[in-house]
Amino acid sequence: MKSQALNYLRLLRLPTVFTALADIFLGFLLTHPNFVSEDGPNPLPSFLLLCLASAGLYLSGMVFNDYFDRLIDAEERPNRPIPSGAISAGSAFRLAVVLMLIGLGAAACVGVPSIVVALALCVLILGYDGGLKKTPLGPIAMGSCRVGNVLLGASAVASLPQLLSAPQLQIALALGTYIVGVTLFARQEATTSRRAALLGAAVVINVGVLGLAYLVNQSPMSDNHFRALAILAVILITINRRLSSAISEPGPQRVQFAIKTMLLSLVMLDATLIYAFNGHQELAMATVALLIPAIGLSRLIAMT
């Protein structure tokens, strides 16, 4: 792979975009029985446009993050593409703007609920990257981005009230809580983290997953409850093993590895929720398949 292409992939942190796409799979399959339909309009074009919208907005957030953090990264992470000089700040800014416009354009092609959610996501992305990250509101803003991304996936509907209804809103809020915890856990990932802060973040992460388990237990598809809850239990045990390891030795390597595990676990959480609420095992497995490029690329490109 050419070095400059790799630098741009590092700037985008490309492996993480598959966690965003998993949210779109989830949101869409909460409001549609499938990606295609033999009766009525075909929903596939809307699904693909929402995937493009999510990818554009998510990747723009990754680039804006490094653009706004370039002075801090020059001290803490000088090997990142912008502080190392591999990519100029101006080029990164232009790329972020283009990606955000692509995301907004794709959402606008789907409908009014989609463009409303996309615009809200733009505000949250720019707010977080532009300054909220360093305040107590930072984790809440990041969690809200994940809520918005799930709702973006569910937004191919007729109206905003239909979008903001059960179960997609409750599921989005529980996943957002999980991401609030992950963001809190990652606040000092470049240095040695404080154990008390990591422990508090771990509590929030567990609350988010347990909230999802509660919602799964309320799903009308009772035949899938036990299997879905069992999968959630395995995911939670795996996450807590990584959390415990990082809390016991809170250096950058273990903390960043725990964060990587939690980000990749988002795909499994989304797939489990699809199985619990949509009922189609093959659609859940299609979501799990997003782990293949995510894990493969994460061996070349850091996720944090």
138 has a pLDDT exceeding 90? yes
Tell me, yes or no, whether 303 lies in a domain. Answer: no
Averaged confidence pLDDT in the chain: 94
pLDDT at 235: 97
Residue listed under structure tokens 């030795």:
249
- Dist CA 240 CA 87 (whole Å): 37
Q: Check pLDDT > 70 for residue 176.
A: yes
C-beta separation of 155 from 29 below 8 A: no
Average pLDDT, integer, range 182-189: 92
The pLDDT value recorded for residue 202 is: 97
Does 102 map to a domain?
yes
- The residue among 95, 74, 25, 1 whose CA lies nearest residue 297 is 1
DSSP assigned state of 111: -
Higher pLDDT, 27 or 41: 27
In a domain, 9, yes or no: yes
User: Above pLDDT 90, what percent of the chain?
Assistant: 83
Distance in angstroms (rounded) separating the CA atoms of residues 236 and 60? 30
Q: What is the pLDDT of residues 63-120, one digit of tens each?
A: 999 999 999 989 888 999 999 999 999 999 999 999 999 999 999 999 999 999 999 9
Percent of the chain scored above 70 by pLDDT? Answer: 99
CA distances from 123 to 1, 64, 66, 175, 187 (A): 35, 12, 17, 20, 21
Does residue 195 lie within any of the structural domains?
yes
Of 224, 218, 222, 260, the C-alpha closest to 239 is 260
Is residue 304 situated within a structural domain? no
For residue 70, the model assigns a pLDDT of: 94
What is the model's pLDDT at position 219? 86
Q: Contact at 8 Å (CB) between 119 and 90?
A: no
Domain that holds residue 85: 3-298
Q: What is the pLDDT of residue 299?
A: 87
Length of the chain: 304
pLDDT band at 2 (very low <50, low <70, confident <90, very high): low
User: What confidence score (pLDDT) does residue 37 get?
Assistant: 82
If we measure between CA atoms, which residue out of 173, 197, 203 comes closest to residue 185?
Answer: 197
Task: Report if residue 53 sits inside a domain.
Answer: yes
Please tell me what DSSP assigns to residue 86: S
pLDDT tops 90 at residue 224: no
User: Residue 1: is its pLDDT beyond 60?
Assistant: no
Within-domain flag for 57: yes
User: Which of 179-183, 207-211, 252-256 is the least confident region?
Assistant: 252-256
**Two tokens at 196?**
């008390």
Nearby residues of 223 by Cβ (< 8 Å), 6 or more positions away: none
Count of domains for the chain: 1
Residue (of 7, 1, 5, 14) closest to 87 by Cα position: 7
CA 35/CA 17 separation, integer angstroms: 20
Q: Is the pTM of this model over 0.85?
A: yes
User: Residue 125's pLDDT band (boundaries 50, 70, 90)?
Assistant: very high
pLDDT at position 222 is 72
pLDDT of residue 82: 95
Q: What is the CATH number of the domain that holds 32?
A: 1.10.357.140
Instruction: Decide if pLDDT at 20 tops 70.
Output: yes
